[in-house]
A = this chain, B = another copy of it.
Amino acid sequence: MDHTAGELARYLGAKLIGDEHAVIQGVASPERAHSTDLIYLGSPRNFDRVARSAALCVVAAPGTAMARKTVLEVADPKFGFAKAAALVLAEPVTPVSVDPTAIIAPGAHLAPDVTVGPYAVIEDGVTVGARSAIGAFCFLGRGAVIGEDCRLHPRVTLYADARLGKRVEVHAGAVIGSDGFGYVFGEGRHWKFPQIGAIEIGDEVEIGANTTIDRGSLDSTRIRRGVKVDNLVQIAHNVEIGEHSILAAQTGVSGSSTLGRGVTVGGQVGIADHCTLEDGAVAGAQAGIPTGKTIRRGQTVWGTPARPLDKFKQQYAWLQRLPEFAERLSKLEQRTLKPDGA
């Protein structure tokens, strides 16, 4: 759908300098942009790239003079660009359809304007909210609940009774509600601890491709509103992740760990079981947080075992000074063997 620069300025609360009737039909990088694409200037060092772009409309910081371009001035141009993109790229209302090859159990409840792709399987007792789109090959197990305006890309699997909120996006191959990994050894073999708990995904969560999130064992796994989870992440039974937290790719969170609000977890981080990451904590890429550990509010940790970033850097610096220490030690030994040294 076409938009105008003036319309975007009002939507962003931006000051418009230039042509309020300029038409915006997409978003792009400066090099790939057509004249009707919106671009942004995030840093002064990109000024020339942006100035040379074919795009006629730019989101930029206040005071950015740019010849022959319409400028939307906002305090945080990258944020303004992302917010504008949410409007510009919003998918047009497509004709709703349920593919005739989708298998929908008679006891499933689909809102009338739901889209279902080919070969999707929707079991008994499933509920799908208004305007949600279920991709090809999705499997929604018995009793699963999907809120309004969700988007499941092809090949998403929900085990029985998994619950998704509204405006949730799940990428291809993700598995939600699989059995947790818990056993008790006895009589010469592992007995499975029951994995029959719940799994609840809040509103506006996004879940990456081939990510796996286990259901609770006896209690619940809970991913709160606004959480973003990258590809190939593992979230174990009984984990709770607070609102607006971010988990980068290939990170693993073990059983019964709790992350607060606004926690940031880098890629390939391992969080062992029964850990607590308080609100706003940050775990750097590849950090390893040992069993039962608490990371305090707003603290940034690094390394394995995870420690405060400052301490990590100091230790690494000390480690690099070891050759120097060894030399000073040898010198001292030489002197001390000759007491008349100095």
Residues of A within 8 A of B (CB): 27-29, 31-32, 76, 78-79, 81-83, 85-86, 89, 101, 103, 117-119, 121, 135-137, 139, 141, 153-155, 157, 159, 171-173, 175, 178-179, 181, 183-194, 196-197, 204, 206, 208-210, 212, 214, 218-219, 226, 228, 230-232, 234, 236, 244, 246, 248-250, 252, 254, 266-268, 270, 272, 285-286, 288, 290, 303-305, 314-316, 318-323, 325-326, 328-329, 332-333, 335-342
Contact = CB atoms under 8 A, between A and B. Distances in A.
A214 B191 contact: no
A82 B194 contact: yes
Given A172-B159, A184-B82, A336-B335, A190 B226 contact: yes
Contacts of A171: 175, 178-179
12 contacts: A76-B186, A79-B191, A119-B119, A171-B179, A181-B231, A190-B228, A209-B212, A234-B249, A268-B288, A318-B323, A332-B332, A332-B333
**Total copies of the chain:** 3
A133 B18 CA distance: 53
Describe A's contact surface by its main secondary structure. Answer: loop
A94 to B, nearest CB: 12
A336 B341 contact: yes
B186 A83 contact: yes
Contacts of A320: 315
Contacts of A338: 342
